[in-house]
Structure 1
Amino acid sequence: MSGRPLSETPREIYRIAWLPGTDVLHGTCHCGREHNSQDPIEMWEWMLAHPQGHQPQADQAQGISS
């Protein structure tokens, strides 16, 4: 433990939600990228492999020209 209060400790939040009426899981990484999968193991591997396999949404938006 670093000795810092929990409110000052950086946190990564991962969210996985089951889409009702389907076998699909919808995951949101702490960087904002989203991913769908029917396999919970594949979902966690995708999230925990960050940043391999996905980049934060802000990086993606820079690559889009209008």
Structure 2
Amino acid sequence: MTSPTGEVYRIDWLPGTDILHGTCHCGREHTAQDPIEMWEWMLAHPQGHEPQGQEPRGNDS
């Protein structure tokens, strides 16, 4: 998904699982089973996560 400001949000489904893997426009990544949780995390930017390089990448669950 691309926001009106041109930021790209990507959510991939991991085949064979119930897990979603999201990548924010800032480069941070997050995994979740609940699509609502994933979108809330994505759209909370910058609250809830910091741009890549300030914290280790990976699951923030």
TM bin (shorter chain): 0.7 to 0.9
Q: Which runs of 5+ in 1 are unaligned?
A: 1-8, 62-66
Mark the structure with the bigger radius of gyration: 1
Partner letter of residue 25 of structure 1?
A: L
Asked which structure has the greater RCO (Cα within 8 Å, sep 6+), the reply is: 2
Count of equivalent residues: 53
The TM-score with structure 2 as length reference comes to 0.79
Structure with a larger share of its residues in helix = 1
Aligned residues with identical type, % of pairs = 75
Alignment partner of 2:44 out of 43, 46, 49: 49
Partner letter of residue 41 of structure 2?
A: W
Q: Which runs of 5+ in 2 are unaligned?
A: 57-61
Q: In 2, distance between residues paired with 1:57 and 1:20?
A: 26
User: After TM superposition, what 4+ stretches of structure 1 lie above 3 angstroms from structure 2?
Assistant: none
Partner letter of residue 44 of structure 2?
A: A
CA RMSD, Structure 1 to Structure 2 (Å)? 1.7
